[in-house]
Structure 1
């Protein structure tokens, strides 16, 4: 019986079959199969077939891992969304303060009216920070002016980028008409001025909005 299996395994190997394919039709251990086939030579074409099959297997494995990662990410986001349904004003105040603490510029000792600089590429984080400015710092929407700094390579899709930030920031498209070219990254800057005081500042929104830059 083993002689027949060995001959069958050698025949399949000579046809360019992989160990995994041969093991499916020859019920022996991999170590036994390796012993049987160690002296079996393969042609260049057979080696190429085996290499291609290995690459296909690796791609399938990578796809499965990617799909599992996406599934877990969706599951985590769903659970988190169910746990936090709506933010209270106190929570929004703390969240905005934490965002400024983590991502905003800090006024140096002795500096007056140096303003606020906020830099981040997450459009949802930017929306929260804008809401924080409007709700708690009482900056009027009409006093917020946006500027876009964009690399020359994105010049042909400027309208797409402007609409992207207009939609995500919930500001009119006309607010995004200040365009500057030459930088390696795309920036959105919001300048604000509180009309009731002399306070003036700048808020950088999105140091590298790859999600906008990647859209066609």
Structure 2
């Protein structure tokens, strides 16, 4: 056989081999789609390597049944949700009990900050978290010291005598109660206003020491109109021990949205105003006690000299 004849034979064999290879490739692509054989099944069927099969199946999506969920799919979804909530990779890793590299691989497609403003806000929150963590041990010690101090001094006060209650009550009233003005012609009665239940109860005890029956007192709230006035009324009624129906109509303060107020929410209950009817003479007594308290300071200084 001449060289030319051998070349023609080899050419025919190559052409036949290429045709067989192409038909096998098409058959593999068809079987991948229907009935949806796996890669391992196709490699065994056609006796080809993984690389060759990848070349044959290029552009064909894997059958749905081969994309079975893994045990970590739920964890991965949780990582994505935490990322969208603004959690960092270390935070996600710690919270879900996975490595930082895994947390990064799962969430790298979700940017932590979509705008420069979000980035600045996240940095601000991070700095605040670091500050809180740094000062938390100090705060715990401080709070423990404060609680111990309060308990120790509360025990030191003990029971107050009637005289002590009258002295303290007069000072409290002179600080927080309504007082006579130079331009008024009549002496006012006692009217005490405060937002602290402890001071309100002290004033009630004080006026009882002055001989006033609690049943004679009247009550009114001074509160912003945006508050839950019925709920605040019930709360204060429980403090002073009278039915809410005994309260006068509340004095409502106009709400100004431009004003930044911190006394808002369920804990805001306004101030309670306590009126003592026909108490002009009692006002004179408060005034006299305060004059005596002030004079005691002069006597104390004189004794020191």
TM-score of the superposition, structure 2-length normalised? Answer: 0.42
1:112 aligns with 2:186: yes
Task: State the match for 2:171 in structure 1.
Answer: 98
- Which runs of 5 or more residues in structure 2 are unaligned? 1-111, 113-118, 256-262, 264-269, 284-305
1:162-191 deviation digits (Å, cap 9, x = unpaired): 122122223332222522433459332222
Q: Secondary structure at the match of 1:93?
A: helix
Q: Secondary structure at the match of 1:171?
A: coil
1:86-117 deviation digits (Å, cap 9, x = unpaired): 11111111111111222223324573232233
- Which runs of 5 or more residues in structure 1 are unaligned? 1-44, 202-216
Q: Aligned match of 1:125 in 196, 199, 209?
A: 199
User: What pairs with 1:16-35 in structure 2 (closer than 5 Å)?
Assistant: none
Q: Distance in 1 between matches of 2:193 and 2:248?
A: 20
1:29-71 deviation digits (Å, cap 9, x = unpaired): xxxxxxxxxxxxxxxx9xx9xx787654322123333323321
Q: Secondary structure at the match of 1:191?
A: strand
1:174 aligns with 2:256: no
Say if 1:198 and 1:104 are closer, same or farther in 2 by CA, change over 3 A: closer
Task: State the match for 2:86 in structure 1.
Answer: none
Q: Is the 8 Å Cα contact of residues 189 and 276 (structure 2) preserved in structure 1? A: no
Task: State the match for 1:191 in structure 2.
Answer: 275
Larger Rg: 2
Structure having greater relative contact order (Cα 8 Å, sep ≥ 6)? 1
Say if 1:77 and 1:181 are closer, same or farther in 2 by CA, change over 3 A: same
Q: Distance in 1 between matches of 2:254 and 2:240?
A: 22
More helix by share: 2
Task: State the match for 1:163 in structure 2.
Answer: 234
Say if 1:69 and 1:167 are closer, same or farther in 2 by CA, change over 3 A: farther
1:71 aligns with 2:141: no
How far does residue 75 in structure 1 lie from its aligned partner after superposition?
A: 1.1
Q: Is the deviation greater in 57-66 or in 184-193?
A: 184-193
Say if 1:200 and 1:147 are closer, same or farther in 2 by CA, change over 3 A: farther
How far does residue 129 in structure 1 lie from its aligned partner after superposition?
A: 0.8
How far does residue 149 in structure 1 lie from its aligned partner after superposition?
A: 2.7
Q: Distance in 2 between matches of 1:139 and 1:54?
A: 56
Q: Secondary structure at the match of 2:175?
A: helix
Say if 1:177 and 1:97 are closer, same or farther in 2 by CA, change over 3 A: closer
1:105-137 deviation digits (Å, cap 9, x = unpaired): 33245732322333332210111011111221x
Q: Secondary structure at the match of 2:138?
A: helix
How far does residue 74 in structure 1 lie from its aligned partner after superposition?
A: 0.8
How many residues matched? 151
